[in-house]
A and B are shown apart, each in its own frame.
Chain A
Amino acid sequence: ILNVEQSPQSLHVQEGDSTNFTCSFPSSNFYALHWYRWETAKSPEALFVMTLNGDEKKKGRISATLNTKEGYSYLYIKGSQPEDSATYLCAFMDWSGNNRLAFGKGNQVVVIP
């Protein structure tokens, strides 16, 4: 079983503030790292798929970085808005060839107006 850790598990952010959280994953046999946003009563929605060390991706006010050598990815939210309230899931895939994603427990973000 692949170990994927996300921290902090939950955080409250004041509207307008920026925040970030971490996903740690095995540094060997890296294939891909996924970030998903999961809003209550909806399906998880893909944010980023990152495959190369040093990758930086951006979607609006949300961005992510990837360090495959040390096994971590950061997700940043700039100028948080209430609609950013969600659980952010990180998922790791290795080169084992079985096409399985191992998920972390998620970072639950609540933006306070």
Chain B
Amino acid sequence: DGGITQSPKYLFRKEGQNVTLSCEQNLNHDAMYWYRQDPGQGLRLIYYSQIVNDFQKGDIAEGYSVSREKKESFPLTVTSAQKNPTAFYLCASRSEGQNFPHSGNTIYFGEGSWLTVV
């Protein structure tokens, strides 16, 4: 079945360590996104990529890094520079194809990854 797979679902990290969250999609979508959710907050955009080998910072990119070497993969690295990394991380993808009138293309989400810094 087509979809988005995030791994691991739960991850514990020691302070000062980098950790990489995996996001893979087989939907042939061009755009991929990483969001973060904290209690009482909406989803906040960390990084996004509209095409292979290209990505842009979102609203809270500090302390994170990404790569987009393949269309189906968009891993997120939480670095030791991220001051408050404990959160729920959600990956998403979207097709860039547009027909007039535009469809506003739906986003498809993974099931998320819980990261806890201990």
Contacts and interface: CB of A to CB of B under 8 A. Distances in A.
Interface of A: 1, 4, 31-34, 36, 41-46, 49-52, 89, 91, 93, 98-106
> Which 7 A-B pairs rank lowest in CB-CB distance, beginning with the nearest?
A32-B104, A103-B43, A105-B42, A43-B109, A46-B106, A103-B42, A49-B104
B110 interface: yes
A44 B56 contact: no
A82 to B, nearest CB: 22
A98 B56 contact: yes
Contacts of A93: 104
Interface of B: 4, 31, 33, 35, 40-45, 48, 50, 56, 58-59, 90, 94, 96, 101-112
A4 B103 contact: no
Contact of A43 (B42, B58, B104, B111): B111
